[in-house]
Structure 1
Amino acid sequence: MKPKKRIQEMTFAALLTAIAILIPSIMPIKLIIPPASYTLGSHVPLFLAMFISPWVAAFVILASSLGFFMAGYPIVIVFRAFSHIIFGCLGALYLKRFPQTIENHKSSLIFNFVLGVIHALGEVIACVIFYSVTGEDFQKLFYILFVLVGFGTIVHSMIDYVIALTIFKSIRKIR
């Protein structure tokens, strides 16, 4: 990797890390119904990092998890934030191999939906693991896990992806 490109990636990683840590604390639009939480824009730094490289995505995801922890969110939500490592790294690796995906509207939409489903599965699994050690009744949690966390995550993820893609394409035009 060329030194200039490496420095640019490190700079983007630092900026996106700072934003990922701050969003859980300062974003005014958020809805928290543990284990579900919807903070508008919380995935935007992650998606932007994913468009840059897999290592930037992994670093920003870890920082985002730290941000949710420092903001005082319930630990199950911090676990959900950490579960982003799965879809974030898979998405970044896919985009590294097929960068043209985000250029075509149809392929980008399909990519967004598939990523949203993987994202939701990761978060539901994080919740199931968390609640399996707490002794909660899974029948009571079915609605929360599969509707609020599962379906809600797909919608939230897809909205944040579109926001991030719009920002990424705008910045790329300026560069």
Structure 2
Amino acid sequence: MQHERVQKLTISALLVAIGILIPIISPVKIILEPASFTLGSHVAIFIALFISPMMAVSVALGTTVGFLISGFPLVISLRALTHVLFAGVGAYWLQKDPGLMNSPIKTQLYSLMIGILHAVAEVFVVALFYFGGTMTEADYSQGFLRSVFLMVGVGTVIHSMVDFSLAHIVWKALNTRQSFVAKMTKLRNNN
């Protein structure tokens, strides 16, 4: 039992580290204020989501702390905090329907639903800053529909689905190793 807790903690810590490192070192960053997209920045959270709800929430919280201490603007750090919502809900959903990932169509629909939840939460945070008057003059000039709904909302759905696909590719590759499958099955069952 103690050994499994150490394994879960270690996997969570590694995923948090990866989740913090990717936004810092990634060469593919698109910043279109108030939106920002870093390719692969959600991969660690999605991998944690595939393992368990507790790990998904822990990794989402850990990466949020990483954004805060890395000096990202408050709006970006709060957007990262919203990942707790889609990670927890998505992991719980997978826990209730583990066969969901066996069908390409169901997997893509699941990814879309998680992406929409992800986007709604981030739009809410950015809208608070937008209507609270704390965004720059350039952000206001584009208007709410373009700068918040389209850039953050639609952009986040697309970004989420791309990162989900990357994480799914990694997850499937890891699952080809029998030792990995055995360890993950054991961790999931003892969650």
> So what's the TM-score if we normalise by structure 2?
0.84
Counterpart for residue 168 of structure 1? 171
Q: Cα RMSD (Å) of the superposition?
A: 1.8
Same amino acid, percent of matched pairs: 39
Counterpart for residue 116 of structure 2? 117
Partners of 2:134 and 2:46 lie apart in 1 by 34
Structure 2: which amino acid aligns with 1:158? M
Q: Which moved more, 1:36-45 or 1:9-18?
A: 9-18
Partners of 2:47 and 2:130 lie apart in 1 by 31
* Largest Rg, 1 or 2: 2
Post-superposition shift, 1:9? 2.2
Gaps of 5+ in 2: 181-191
Counterpart for residue 189 of structure 2? none
Q: Which moved more, 1:130-139 or 1:3-12?
A: 130-139
Structure 1: which amino acid aligns with 2:104? H
Where do residues 5-154 of structure 1 align in structure 2 (5 Å cutoff)? 5-134=4-133, 140-154=143-157
Post-superposition shift, 1:138? 9.6
Q: Alpha carbons of 1:161 and 1:79: their partners in 2 closer, same or farther (altered >3 Å)?
A: same
Which whole-Å deviations, capped at 9, do the CAs of 1:14-50 have from their partners, x for residues lacking one?
Answer: 1101111212211111112222000010000000000
Partners of 1:99 and 1:119 lie apart in 2 by 21
Partners of 1:163 and 1:151 lie apart in 2 by 19
> So what's the TM-score if we normalise by structure 1?
0.91
Structure 1: which amino acid aligns with 2:73? P
Counterpart for residue 184 of structure 2? none
Paired residue secondary structure (1:72) = coil
Structure 2: which amino acid aligns with 1:149? V
Post-superposition shift, 1:72? 2.5
